[in-house]
Structure 1
């Protein structure tokens, strides 16, 4: 996330936010934030939200996600909001929404649903 200049300013039980400034290094050929970058921050926001629900000494790993890019990712920054839909001992279901922020207004640009596997006995590095 540091490579992309992303930050994790919101961490709460079952939810997180990742903020990504819009800069040339994350753009595709039309000046929008690249869809791969949008997917990356959605995956990470939802994964970190899942991490808030697992016991100490466990970790998480994405095993599947489906993302819909519903509008071009534009604005001065993007916010990915990850939320746990259903916590579980083995699998956690999450969602993420990614918004472009332009002059204080939010515009939805992506929606993701994700399945996370809990890795018991596997600490984070």
Structure 2
């Protein structure tokens, strides 16, 4: 599944622009990471909230896709718990519930420095299956 997920990620130009990497893609779970760069930070020196939010959104969508197939986010929310300061951001998402056409997923985003991870955001979203276009 991981190689298939990496192929899908390679077709997302915005993900490529940010430098996002798919680390885990298994039934019911996904993990994405992003190396922090100065151009992804806000004026106080930590990751811009939009970057953290995007990482959470994409991660919950990958988790949903692991059980639904082709899908999109229909809604999600993000709670920021501390500034995202670190060398890398890591998002880990799991499917909490899945039906035939919809999944509810959660995601936790961490800022990572060396071997230390700090929780920076928590997200909850609804992912809907889409029919082939």
Q: TM-score, normalised by structure 1?
A: 0.91
Say which of 20, 38, 59 aligns to 1:6.
20
CA distance in 1: counterparts of 2:23 and 2:72, whole angstroms: 21
Please state whether the residue corresponding to 2:71 is helix, strand or coil: strand
Give 1:103 shift: 2.3
Higher relative contact order (CA 8 A, sep 6+): 1
CA distance in 1: counterparts of 2:132 and 2:104, whole angstroms: 19
User: Could you say which residue in structure 2 is the equivalent of 1:52?
Assistant: 66
Equivalenced residues, count:
119
User: Could you say which residue in structure 2 is the equivalent of 1:23?
Assistant: 37
CA distance in 2: counterparts of 1:83 and 1:30, whole angstroms: 31
Give 1:69 shift: 0.4
User: Where does structure 2 lack aligned partners over 5 or more consecutive residues?
Assistant: 1-14
- Tell me if 1:77 matches 2:88: yes
Q: TM-score, normalised by structure 2?
A: 0.86
Give 1:90 shift: 2.0
Q: How does 1:90-109 map to 2 (within 5 A)?
A: 90-109=101-120
- Tell me if 1:66 matches 2:77: yes
- What are the superposed Cα offsets for residues 25-64 of structure 1, whole Å, 9 maximum, x if unpaired? 211111101000100010101100110102xxx5211111
Structure 1: 4+ residue segments shifted above 6 A = none
User: Could you say which residue in structure 2 is the equivalent of 1:122?
Assistant: 132
User: Where does structure 1 lack aligned partners over 5 or more consecutive residues?
Assistant: none
